[in-house]
Amino acid sequence: MSDHALRLLREQPHLAELAAFPFNFDLARADHGEAVRLASGGPLDAVAGDDTGGTYFVCGDGSVLYADSEGSAGIIGNSVDEALEVLVGLPGWHDYLGLAPADGEEKIRAAVAETEEEIREYHGIDDERAELRAGLGLPERSPVELIGLLHAALLRTEPDFLLLNAEEGGAHALLDRHPRPPLWEAVLARGRTDLTLLREGSAWDEVAGDRARRALALRAAQFDRREGDLPLLRHLLRHEAEASMTDELRLAAVLVGLHGHAEDLPLLYEVRETDFDTWCGLGGMPEPGADPAELRSWARGLDDSLFGTDPADEPLFTWTDLAHEQGLVELARATLIRRLDDIDFRAYRDARDSKAMERRDASQLSQLVYEFEQLGDTFQALRAQRLYVPLQTRAWDRVSALLRLARLEREEGRFGAAIRTLASLRDTLAEPDGGVGESESESESDNSLGHWQRTNLGAYIVEEHYAVARTAATDTALADEVRAVTVAAGELLARLSGTARANVERHLAGTTDTHTDTQTDIRAAIHTDTGAKPDADISAEPTPPQPSAG
């Protein structure tokens, strides 16, 4: 991962001029024109550009990422030296993004020869190429070798080098269109290896005792079912029960049940009785003494509705969860961002048909928010929640969604946006049927917020107001807005029932804050509205559980 060639270009103007023309690697064009970043958060340094508006970035491991002006990006070399080998050896490289070594030497050489003849009609490249290679110490490689380097580099773009628009968060398209293996194939690879070990009679305890390996082995067994697997499935089932109710526990029970052995009924019954969650999650299971046919029927019913034998039929979130669990965080993140981009695009395209979008995307958006938060990616969670909020038609759901949106905005440091979101939330509390376009009969029937003052939701609303007031107090430009939020928090607090209000006060009473003015305002509000002691230390952010987006 050498940057030898880049140093030479910076030190020798003549070589830099040759790189800029005719090979279109211009150190003076390193300004991409828009803010971009890697989804992984890794370093990204723009070092050159071309005359089409494209930019060459060096990533943390030395890889070179090229981003064009049309919203596509891809790795073109493992180092600047390698990228320059490609650019100098294949000056028409943009035309070869669809080529791969599998196309064969004859096709590759013909494509390169055709493009280079076209280039020579306008300017020379042969003497210039020889001079630049010699000056930079680049080896002379055949077009076939260079296509192999470019192809291998392009395939490395995702997941580690997914390029995002830094402001909006959308991902750049892949620079090439080479097919990639499906997500499930990468996720299942370890599980298939472990399933082979289990079938060979080795590593039973190692696999069964590791939650991530056990889950993947069960998924591998789901798609490669064999009659002789029953003993290892029983073993995995016993261990998975220790994790309480999971999708993989239900899968293990189904795979055991499909064999239809009466002697497995006591084991299945014992697993079902592990705790209340497993009792609910494995409901309908035949009890010991039942006919084996009844056991098979129960297992087939769940298999048909929840599992099956084709990994492509599994929900996307099954694979992203498993990817995250085994440490493939960037693979999960890239996949989730691509799915969010699809929904975002449809939302833009179908803006006039919000009902269609609601039916199609609301549940996925809620799940995406959760998945991104699990990855610690608040930025993308916020993107998804912004799309989710307008789809909520019931007042309770709108308030819950706005509350979650305000929290994510606060955590992202977007305090002005959080303050505005809380204002919308209060408007909904005041007029639950306002602004969402329901018919009069529908709005009259929506009394879902009728008792919000006596619920956890009410307490969370008040606590979020105080949390926003405290964190936003560091921004002096928002002083008036912060004071207004603090006053609104006190008014909402006064409306809570005795129990809900006491819970809020208890959360606030154990906190600390260094911002004196805001701390004083909050203390005064509680003292005035609830009778709490004014000297209680109530300033740091509480961390109660948040209500779900739905």
Structure tokens belonging to residue 79? 């180092």
Query: What phi, psi does 464 have (nearest 5°)?
Result: -70, -35
Evaluated on CA atoms 498, 503, 504, 508, the torsion sign reads: positive
The pLDDT value recorded for residue 170 is: 97
Question: pLDDT tens across 212-239, in order?
Answer: 999 999 999 999 999 999 999 999 999 9
For residues 518 and 526, give the distance between their C-alpha atoms in angstroms, rounded to a whole number. Answer: 12
How many CB atoms neighbour CB 334 within 10 A? 23
Cis peptide leading into residue 286 (ω within 30°): no
Structure tokens at 190: 């370890």
- Eight-class DSSP state of 216: H
Taking the CA of residue 498 as centre, how many other CA atoms within 13 Å lie in the half-sphere pointing to its CB?
A: 0
Between CA 425 and CA 364 the distance in angstroms is 23
- Can you tell me the distance from the alpha carbon of 352 to that of 354, in angstroms, rounded to the nearest whole number? 6
Bond preceding residue 545 cis, omega within 30 of 0: no
Measured CA to CA in angstroms, residue 474 lies from 220, 341, 399, 413, 513 at distances of 52, 33, 26, 10, 11
CA-based torsion, 11, 81, 2, 74: positive or negative: positive
- pLDDT value at position 514? 44
Tell me the sheet residues that pair with 478. Answer: none
Q: Are 428 and 434 in contact (CB under 8 A)?
A: yes
User: What pLDDT score does 529 carry?
Assistant: 44
H or E element at residue 418 = helix 415-430
**CB-CB contact of 42 with 160 (8 Å):** yes
Q: Are strands 55-59 and 44-49 parallel, antiparallel or unpaired?
A: antiparallel
The number of beta carbons lying within 10 Å of the beta carbon of residue 164 is 21
Enumerate residue ranges in the chain where pLDDT < 70: 1-2, 349-360, 434-445, 510-550
Give the gyration radius of the chain's Cα atoms.
30
pLDDT for residue 3: 83
pLDDT digits (tens, 9 = 90+) for 146-190: 999 999 999 999 999 999 999 999 999 999 999 999 999 999 999
Token pair 């007042």 is found at 395
What is the residue whose two structure tokens read 């919203």? 71
Separation in Å, CA 531 to CA 319, 500, 505, 537: 52, 15, 10, 15
CA–CA separation, 251 vs 270, rounded Å?
16
